[in-house]
Every structure is written in structure tokens, then in C-alpha cells.
């Protein structure tokens, strides 16, 4: 993966994950349409940030240290938009394989029993790990999404536990020379 672009006080890829997560949740509820992958929709979400003020909707999503300061370049917007789209596509196209991995790692929890938000945070994190993001980064970002959007105060712990098992299983399978079931 490319290095994360950093603007002082703003983590663009973290915001990209937030946008991707929201679109993935929308798709989980209404699987028939996925117009949100449209370039205009995703770029508009980032372009709002390039103005000197952050919209009320975005302000609610960003912690104080994540708010942009100064102009965000069109190149940054393009890169973050591409990352958002890549993450959405990877999560949705690999959903069945990811769900099998999550089911294997989640004792006593069927995916349909998990909250919509926790389930999709987990799906997205596993897909991102498969894209090559270091597991520790993907897990940390998933925990942060769980703090913001999780069903309850236990969501971050639940997410951490399940993803930890997924990574353990992946390491065990790699050590044994076999890849995890897809």
C-alpha cells in the first residue's frame, strides 16, 4: 500500500475508512444498489473538507485532532477517494470469504447475530488486511470505528478480539504452509 498522506491534524485515510464504512453499511441494508461508488459522490465527501470550514456532518465524524487545517489538495482528495473505493470494492467483492473467516474466528457469535455496525467494521478490517495493510494498523482503525459507530461500549473490545483471532488463524495457516479458507 502507499504511504499514508498526512496533513497537520488530519488523517485522510482514517476519514476514507469512515466513508467506506458508511457506504458498506448502506449496502448491507440495501444490497440492490451501490451508486455510492460513483466518483462524484465520494469526491464530494472529501471536497467538503477542502473548504476552510468543515460541515456539521463531517465535524461529527472527526475528532478535534483529525480536523483539516488549511487547504487539502485535489491530489489528496483523489488519492483518498481511490483508497475509499478500493476498500469498498475489496470488502464487498470478498464478502463471502471474509464472512467465513469471521465465522471461524467468532465462537458463539453468528454473523447475523452481530450488530450491523460491528459486522461491517470487521468485514472491512479483514478486507483491508488482505489488501496489504499491516494487521496492527487495520485493527487499530477498526477499533476507532467501533468507538465512534459501534453498537455499545463493548464494541471496540469485541472487534479487537475477533480481529485478533482472524490474524492468529492467518499466521497459523501461513506457518503451516496453507492459506486460510476463502
pLDDT in tens, 53-85: 444 555 555 554 454 555 567 777 788 888 999
Q: Does residue 11 surpass a pLDDT of 60? A: yes
Region of poorest pLDDT, from 29-38, 59-68, 88-97, 115-124: 59-68
At residue 107, the pLDDT reads 83
Nearest to 20 by CA among 157, 153, 120, 151: 120
At residue 2, the pLDDT reads 42
Classified as helix, coil or strand, 54 is coil
The rounded percent of the chain whose pLDDT value lies above 90 is 45
At residue 6, the pLDDT reads 39
Q: Does residue 168 surpass a pLDDT of 90? A: yes
Average pLDDT over residues 4-12: 48
Q: What are the grid coordinates assigned to 38, written together?
A: 460513483
The Cα 165–Cα 106 span in angstroms is 8
Q: Are 159 and 125 in contact (CB under 8 A)?
A: yes
Q: How many CB atoms lie within 10 A of CB 72?
A: 20
Q: How confident is the model at residue 156 (pLDDT cuts 50, 70, 90)?
A: very high
Q: Are 117 and 143 in contact (CB under 8 A)?
A: no
CATH topology for 94-174 is N-utilizing Substance Protein B Homolog; Chain A (1.10.940)
Report the relative pairing of strands 6-7 and 10-11 from DSSP bridges: antiparallel
At residue 3, the pLDDT reads 40
Region of poorest pLDDT, from 101-105, 107-111, 148-152: 107-111
Region of poorest pLDDT, from 63-67, 125-129, 160-164: 63-67
Q: Which burial class, exposed, middle or buried, applies to 61 when counting CB atoms under 10 A from its CB (0-12, 13-18, 19+)? A: middle
The Cα 15–Cα 30 span in angstroms is 23
Classified as helix, coil or strand, 153 is coil
**Residue in the block written with cell 485535489:** 74
**Spans of all domains in the chain:** 7-93, 94-174
Q: Does residue 145 surpass a pLDDT of 90? A: yes
The Cα 57–Cα 92 span in angstroms is 25
Q: Which long-range contacts (CB under 8 A, 24 or more apart) does 172-176 make?
A: none
The rounded percent of the chain whose pLDDT value lies above 70 is 73
Amino acid at each position: 500500500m502507499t504511504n499514508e498522506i498526512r496533513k497537520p491534524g488530519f488523517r485522510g485515510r482514517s476519514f476514507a475508512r469512515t466513508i467506506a464504512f458508511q457506504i458498506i453499511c448502506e449496502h448491507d441494508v440495501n444490497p440492490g444498489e451501490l451508486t455510492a461508488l460513483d466518483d462524484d459522490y465520494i469526491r464530494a465527501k472529501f471536497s467538503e473538507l477542502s473548504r476552510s470550514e468543515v460541515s456539521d456532518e463531517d465535524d461529527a465524524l472527526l475528532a478535534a485532532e483529525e480536523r483539516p487545517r488549511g487547504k487539502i489538495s485535489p491530489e489528496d482528495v483523489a488519492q483518498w477517494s481511490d483508497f475509499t473505493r478500493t476498500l469498498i470494492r475489496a470488502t464487498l467483492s470478498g464478502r463471502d470469504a471474509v464472512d467465513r473467516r469471521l465465522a471461524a474466528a467468532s465462537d458463539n457469535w453468528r454473523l447475523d447475530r452481530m450488530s450491523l455496525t460491528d459486522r461491517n467494521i470487521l468485514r472491512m478490517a479483514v478486507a483491508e488486511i488482505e489488501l496489504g495493510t499491516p494487521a496492527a494498523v487495520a485493527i487499530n482503525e477498526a477499533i476507532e470505528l467501533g468507538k465512534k459507530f459501534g453498537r455499545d461500549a463493548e464494541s471496540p473490545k469485541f472487534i479487537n478480539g475477533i480481529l485478533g483471532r482472524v490474524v492468529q488463524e492467518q499466521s497459523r495457516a501461513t506457518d503451516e504452509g496453507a492459506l486460510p479458507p476463502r
